[in-house]
A = this chain, B = another copy of it.
Amino acid sequence: MMKKIKVGIIGATGYAGVELVRLLLLHPCVELTALSSVSYEGKKISQVYPNLKDICDEVLQNEDIIDKCDVVFTSLPHGLSEKFAAKCLANGVKMIDLGADFRLDSAEEYSKWYGKKYEEEDIHSQALYCIPELHRKQYISQPIIGNPGCYPTSIALGLAPAIGLAIDNTVVIDSKSGVTGAGRGLADNTHYPNCNEAFSPYKVAAHRHTPEIEQTLSKLKGKKVNVTFVPHLLPVNRGIVSTIYFNVDRPINAEELRELYATYYKDEKFVRVLELGEVANLRNVKYSNYCDISIHYDEHTQRAIIVSTIDNMVKGAAGQAIQNMNIMFKLDEDSGLNYIPPSF
């Protein structure tokens, strides 16, 4: 029997961190070796998340867990992951970062959007930004993977097959995210009476995921792509729906457009291209690693409309990170990820 992979999580009590715990506990090839949380060191994780009682009563440790692990997931606010990356590299430990620190190629862009500088810029060349369906072929043996953001994942998967056809500067992305996307920290806009029976965009055309979205799309297209991106806070716990609009540079119809997507994703387990007439709905993917995409074409204005939906905490965070781990360790890519989205 294969030796299990020793896995550690730094930032285990954030939302992405505890979702990693939930999924990794049932991964057949993983041994959850160490959980770290600065905020709750010394407590059991099941005291912080009582859903885990009797299932995972691990005591949360400080951050010195790297040398016990084969791979470490870091799930931290931006700016905190670099030092762990350096230590992982020094110890020959792999690392998958769920934060923003290994997503952007450009140090200037990072600095502009996140207000911090890369401290150790050379480390970043050893990291791969990886949405598996789009970038897995680029994985050789990079020791670090920058796990994509939730919005960028839904959008890149929704645009990849057609970005070549999109006319410059016609791409408008209207995304809606469930409240877990805002994380565990208390804030006015996530206080229940403020976001229940409410709806609004936020950070209009100013969200930090914008450069990440444009970086991925530009690489796919082979030239700079600019997009307008507006996220909205949706009164549900989980899920992202991105409604994506763009004009295409040639005569096309809905059938052809759908065929383009179906072909592009024909071997992908986790991307489901819906039939024409069907509409992607977050309720069909929640609690799973699936991305559902529906294809629409407005003849009237010659505009393509793509609806892409994922569970922000699974395909948009912890699930995709595990998919990346599976790639790193040459496991079946869906190992530990065979969750069936519930019907309700």
Contact = CB atoms under 8 A, between A and B. Distances in A.
Contact of A201 (B51, B204, B243, B303): B243
A235 interface: yes
Contacts of A190: 191-193
A193 B279 contact: no
Contact of A283 (B51, B52, B174, B238): B51
Interface stretch (A59-67, A141-149, A293-301): A293-301
A81 B32 CA distance: 45
Given A172-B303, A340-B22, A342-B287, A199 B234 contact: yes
Give how many copies assemble into the complex. Answer: 4
A172 B245 contact: yes
Nearest to A307: B201
Interface string A274-305: 10001111111111100010101110111101
A176 B199 contact: yes
Contacts of A230: 243, 245, 305
A51 B176 contact: no
Most B-side CB within 10 Å, residue of A19, A169, A174: A174
A132 interface: no
A107 interface: no
Contact of A180 (B50, B228, B279, B344): B344
Given A25-B340, A272-B54, A340-B25, A307 B200 contact: yes
Given A54-B272, A179-B193, A200 B281 contact: yes
6 contacts: A50-B281, A52-B340, A172-B245, A174-B245, A196-B196, A205-B296
Given A50-B284, A172-B174, A205-B303, 19 more contacts: A15-B343, A15-B344, A26-B338, A50-B274, A50-B278, A51-B340, A51-B342, A54-B269, A54-B272, A186-B186, A193-B344, A197-B236, A197-B238, A201-B241, A204-B279, A228-B298, A228-B300, A235-B235, A238-B344
